[in-house]
Structure 1
Amino acid sequence: MMQTRRHFMASSAAATALLGFLPRQAMATVSFETLEAMSASVQLAPDGYPATDIWGYGGTAPGPILRVAQGGRLQRRFVNSLPQASSIHWHGIRIDNAMDGVPGLTQAAVEPGDGFDYDFTLPDAGTYWYHSHNRSTEQVARGLHGALIVEEGTPPDVDREEVFVLDDWLIDPETGQIPDDFESPHARSHAGRMGNLILTSGIFDKTMTVQRNERLRLRLINAANARIFVLGLIGLEGWTMALDGMPLPAPEPLDEVLVLGPGQRADLIVDVTAEEGGTAYLARANEARGAPQVTFQVRGQASLARRGVPDALPPNPGHVIDLSGDSVNLTLNMEGGAMGGLREAMFNGEQVGFRELAQANQFWAFNGMVGMPDSPMATLDRGQIVRLTISNDTAFPHAMHLHGMHFREVLTDNTLGPMRDTLLMDSSERREIAFAADNPGDWLLHCHMLSHAASGMMTWVRVT
C-alpha cells in the first residue's frame, strides 16, 4: 500500500543469476566507457555564495544520467581519481553478485588511481540509481551518486520525461564547503546527517517551464543521506506508476502525499492543471510552511483537453513471491540510538555495554549484533521464499535496503504490497516482508540512513 503523510505522521507519533558476462580472458579486449570519480568545484548554493568542492562521477553532482534499454548491458570502467578507496553500488538492480559493488562482501574497494570493470545486464525497466558504497556516509554526501534509467520497450504516452534527484547537502554558508564531520556522534546516534541546502538534480530552487494540459513523467530519486522527503502536488494532477523501479498493477492517484525515504524512488505521471500564466509545484509537505521542491511556470497550452487516466506501465518479468507453500521465517530486531533501550550488544566478538559502544561511535544493533557480522544472518537455498519480520525498537525511522532482490510487504490480511527494494519503517513499527531468494550470492541488508549503517546497522544473507 502507498504510505501517505497521514499514515507516516500517525506512526511517527506512537534473481536469477544474470547471463551475458564476458569471460575474464576477454575483458581486456573490450573498451569500456569510463565513469571517473573525481574532485571538482561546482556552484551548489545560490549565486553569491562560494562554489563547493565536491566528489562526483565525471566531476558533476549528481553524476551523469545513465540510460540503458531493458535487457541491455551496462559496461563502465570505473576509475578512482579520489584520495580514498571507493566502489559503485547499482541500487535496485537484480545484478550478478560480483558486480554489486560492496567492498568486503562482493569486491575489494578500488584504491586511488586504480579501476574496476562493471559489466552486467539489466533485466528490469525502471528508475534506479548508482552511488559509492565505500565510506558511504562521506562519499555519497560529497556527491558520488547519479541516476540509472532502464527504459521500457514501450514507453508511456507522455509529452516529456524529467529525472529529479532529490538531495540535501550540509554546507558551511561562510565558506561554501562541506564540513568534514562525517563521523559526528550526534548524526550517528540520532536521525542521521541532515543537510541545510536542499537541491533537485544539483540545482537550488529548480524552476522549469511547462504548458497547461502537458503530461509529464517524473522520475524521483531520494539520494539524501538521511532526509525523508514528503512530497505533494500543487497545480498538478498525478498518479504513482512505479515504486523503487517496479511498476504498480494500476496507476494510483496521488491525492495526498508521497513519502520517499533515503534510497527510495517513485515514477509519477502528472498533468499540468494550473492555469496558463500560473505556477505549479512539486512541493515538500513535511516542513512547517511547506516549500517548493520544483517550480513549474505554466506558459502556453499543450492541448485544449486533458487526457484520461494513464495506462499502467508494463510489469517486469520474473518477480514471483508465492506464500502458499513453505517459507523460511526470519526476524530482524533493530535496537539502539539515542533515547533507545539498548543495554548491551555483541561488538568485535565481545558482549559490551551501550556506554562502551557509544565511546566507539557505534550506536545501533541488528539482533543484538553491532556492525557487519562475519557470518550471514541466514543461509538460504536458491528459490526459497523468505518471510522476514522487522521490528523497529528505536526512537527513529530507518530505511531498510536489501541488495540483489526485491520484496513485498506482507499486509495484515496476508496479501502482498507493492514490490520494493527499500522499506521505510517508523519508530516502534513492526512490519513483515517476503522475497524469493532467487539471486545467488552474498547480499547486504542495511539501513540507508547512511550514518546508521556506519554505526551498526548492517547485516547480510547468503543465497547458495
Structure 2
Amino acid sequence: MKTTLAGSAIAAFPKLTLAKTSDDFLELRAAAGEARLYGDKGGASPLWLYNDRLPGPEIRVKQGERVRVRFINELDEPTSIHWHGIRIDNAMDGVAGVTQPAVGPGESFDYDFVAPDAGTYWYHAHNMSWNQVPRGLSGPLIVEDHDNLFSGDADISLVLSDWRLDENGVLDTASFGARHDFSHAGRLGNWLTVNGVSLPDIPLQKGRWHRLRLINVSASRILDLAPERMGAKLIALDGQTLSEPREVSGIVQLAPAQRMDLAVQPTEPGTFPLEMMTGQPFAFANFQVSDGGGRDGPLSLPPVNRLPEPDLADALELPLVMQGGAMGGMRALMEDRSEDEVRKMVQDGQFWTFNGVAGMQGEPMFNARRGETIVLESRNDTGFPHAMHIHGHHFRLLEKDGEPLKHQDWRDTFTTQPQETVKIAFVADNPGKWLIHCHMLGHAASGMMTWFEVV
C-alpha cells in the first residue's frame, strides 16, 4: 500500500494513537509512502513510513507501563525497530543480527517491554539504518511521569530532521550509500523539517509553561540551537530530567539521536523563531503565541529517574580510540597496517575503526560483570565530529580533554569533536549484548560499530 502525505503551513501536533489488536498489541506497520518535504513548492518524495505518517506515530505511555507493539513489515527489504534510550530487556532492543533476526518482507515481530524511565525517547529502523532512517522510519516515544506537570497541548514533541533534496524539492535517493558521505561527515541534508512539515507554525499560549521535546532524527546533521534566544530553560537531556531548570547561553549542540527538553513561558503574544545557528541564524519553524489569558506559577519539574551511579573507585577503565575517515584520517591506520590492507579496507567500504578494529567482530570489545562500573575514555583522532551511542544504558558525562565537566549529565549519546577526548562512566547492569556505535549512520555502517556483553 502506498499513501501520500501533504505538507501543511500549520504544524498540528496530535497525540497519536495506534490501532490495537485483540490481544492488546499496538500495531505498527512499515510501508512505502510519499510526503512533500519542501512544502507546496516541492514535489512528492518517495519515503518509507510507519503507519503512513511522517514522523511515525507518537507512542505515549506512563512510566512503568508495559509497551506491546506488533511490528509488521510491508517493505521490500528486511528491517527492525530499535527503542532508542530505553533501558529494556536485551531481546527487545531491536538490533537486527544481534538481538533478533531482521523482520523480512511480509513478516512481523512482537516487541514487549516495560518503560522504566520517564522522558523523551524515540524509535527507528535498525537494519541498514543509513538507508532506512533518512527515508522516514522513525518516530517519538514519550514516557510520561506520573505527575504529568506539562499536560495536553503544553507538552509538544518536535521531531527535527534534515533532508537532502534535489532542485525540485524531492528527496535525493540516488545518493544513499555514497562513499564520500560515509568517509566524510556523513549524509548531510539541505533542508530541515519539524514533524515532517516545512517551516511550520507551532502554537503556544502566553503565560503558560510549555515543554518542548526536541528529537534530532537526522542521519548525520548536528543541530546548533540557541535556547537562550527563545527565552527557554533546559530541563532534560536524552530523556533524563535535570535536578533543576538550567539557564543556558550560546549554542547548544543537538547531535543525531540526542534529545533536549526545553521549558518556555512566552510573555507576549506574537511570533518568534526556532533557529539553526550554523553561520547566520536560519529559522526553520516559528512559534505563534496567542493570548492565553493567564500566567502559570513557578516552573516545577518531575522527579529525576533513579539510575545506578557509577563507582569510579572500582571501575573497569577502557579506551575507545576513533580513527580513519577522509581528511588524512586513513593515514593514521597505516601505522599498524600495510598500504594494501588499508586499500582493501577502503574497497570494502570500511573507513573507520574503534581501537584499530573496523566494524562488528565475533568477539566483544569487552565483557562486563553485571553491576560493574565501566569507564570509557574516548579519543577522537579523526577529522570529523561523531555522535556515540551506547545501547541499553545511560552514562555520566565526566570529562572533556581531562577537565571535569561542571554538569556531569546523564546521556545515552555523546558528541565528540575532532582531536577531543571524552570520558564517560556507566554501570553495566543490563544483561545481554549491547552496541556502541556512531549515530552518524553512515559512519556506523563503514566501521564505527562494536559491541560489549554484560554477563
User: What TM-score do you get using the length of structure 1 for normalisation?
Assistant: 0.88
The range that moved more, 232-241 or 52-61, is 232-241
Partner of 1:296: 287
Contact 1:336/1:365 (<8 A) preserved: yes
Give the root-mean-square deviation of aligned CA atoms: 2.2
Match of 1:121 among 66, 90, 114: 114
Contact 1:248/1:313 (<8 A) preserved: no
Partner of 2:344: 356
Q: Work out whether 1:434 is the aligned partner of 2:425.
A: yes
CA deviations over 1:122-178 (Å, ceiling 9, x no partner): 100000000000010110011000000000001225771110000011222337243
SS in 2 for 1:391: strand
How far the C-alpha of 1:234 sits from its partner, in A, is 7.0
Partner of 1:320: 309
Match of 2:50 among 57, 71, 93: 57
What is the distance in 1 between the residues matched to 2:314 and 2:454? 17
CA deviations over 1:306-353 (Å, ceiling 9, x no partner): 743x23331112432222x3110111100000113334769xx99953
Match of 2:185 among 172, 191, 205: 191
What is the distance in 1 between the residues matched to 2:196 and 2:155? 18
SS in 2 for 1:155: coil
Q: Work out whether 1:181 is the aligned partner of 2:189.
A: no
What is the distance in 1 between the residues matched to 2:186 and 2:82? 20
Contact 1:345/1:353 (<8 A) preserved: no
Match of 1:385 among 366, 369, 373: 373
Q: Work out whether 1:370 is the aligned partner of 2:364.
A: no
What is the distance in 2 between the residues matched to 1:175 and 1:238? 32
How far the C-alpha of 1:388 sits from its partner, in A, is 0.6
User: Where do residues 62-77 of structure 1 align in structure 2 (5 Å cutoff)?
Assistant: 62-77=55-70
Partner of 2:251: 257
CA deviations over 1:5-34 (Å, ceiling 9, x no partner): xxxxxxxxxxxxxxxxxxxxxxx9935221
What is the distance in 2 between the residues matched to 1:190 and 1:224? 16
Partner of 1:417: 408
Q: Work out whether 1:212 is the aligned partner of 2:241.
A: no
Contact 2:397/2:405 (<8 A) preserved: no
Partner of 1:15: none
Contact 2:322/2:353 (<8 A) preserved: yes
SS in 2 for 1:141: helix
Alpha-carbon distance change, 161 to 340 in structure 1, aligned in 2, over 3 angstroms: same
Alpha-carbon distance change, 343 to 92 in structure 1, aligned in 2, over 3 angstroms: same
User: Where do residues 112-151 of structure 1 align in structure 2 (5 Å cutoff)?
Assistant: 112-151=105-144
SS in 2 for 1:375: coil
CA deviations over 1:89-139 (Å, ceiling 9, x no partner): 000000100000111111110110101000000100000000000010110
Partner of 1:95: 88
Contact 2:324/2:332 (<8 A) preserved: no
Partner of 2:29: 36
Matched length: 429
What is the distance in 1 between the residues matched to 2:332 and 2:293? 62
Partner of 1:242: 236
What is the distance in 2 between the residues matched to 1:136 and 1:401? 14
SS in 2 for 1:356: helix
What is the distance in 1 between the residues matched to 2:172 and 2:154? 34
How far the C-alpha of 1:231 sits from its partner, in A, is 1.0
What is the distance in 1 between the residues matched to 2:165 and 2:407? 41
Partner of 2:277: 285
How far the C-alpha of 1:435 sits from its partner, in A, is 0.4
The residue type paired with residue 450 of structure 2 is: T
User: What TM-score do you get using the length of structure 2 for normalisation?
Assistant: 0.89
How far the C-alpha of 1:52 sits from its partner, in A, is 1.3
CA deviations over 1:253-282 (Å, ceiling 9, x no partner): 133232100000011111113x33x32122
List runs of 5+ in structure 1 lacking aligned partners.
1-27
What is the distance in 1 between the residues matched to 2:33 and 2:407? 45
What is the distance in 2 between the residues matched to 1:409 and 1:233? 21
CA deviations over 1:171-229 (Å, ceiling 9, x no partner): 22337243232210110011000112210010000112333323211000000000001
What is the distance in 2 between the residues matched to 1:29 and 1:52? 35
What is the distance in 1 between the residues matched to 2:290 and 2:310? 47
What is the distance in 2 between the residues matched to 1:197 and 1:318? 37
Partner of 1:459: 450
What is the distance in 2 between the residues matched to 1:47 and 1:122? 39
Contact 1:410/1:432 (<8 A) preserved: yes
List runs of 5+ in structure 2 lacking aligned partners.
1-20
State percent identity of aligned pairs. 45
What is the distance in 1 between the residues matched to 2:353 and 2:441? 14
Contact 1:125/1:150 (<8 A) preserved: yes
Contact 1:340/1:393 (<8 A) preserved: no
Match of 2:385 among 392, 397, 406: 397
CA deviations over 1:23-57 (Å, ceiling 9, x no partner): xxxxx993522100011122222203211111011
Alpha-carbon distance change, 306 to 97 in structure 1, aligned in 2, over 3 angstroms: closer
Alpha-carbon distance change, 117 to 306 in structure 1, aligned in 2, over 3 angstroms: closer
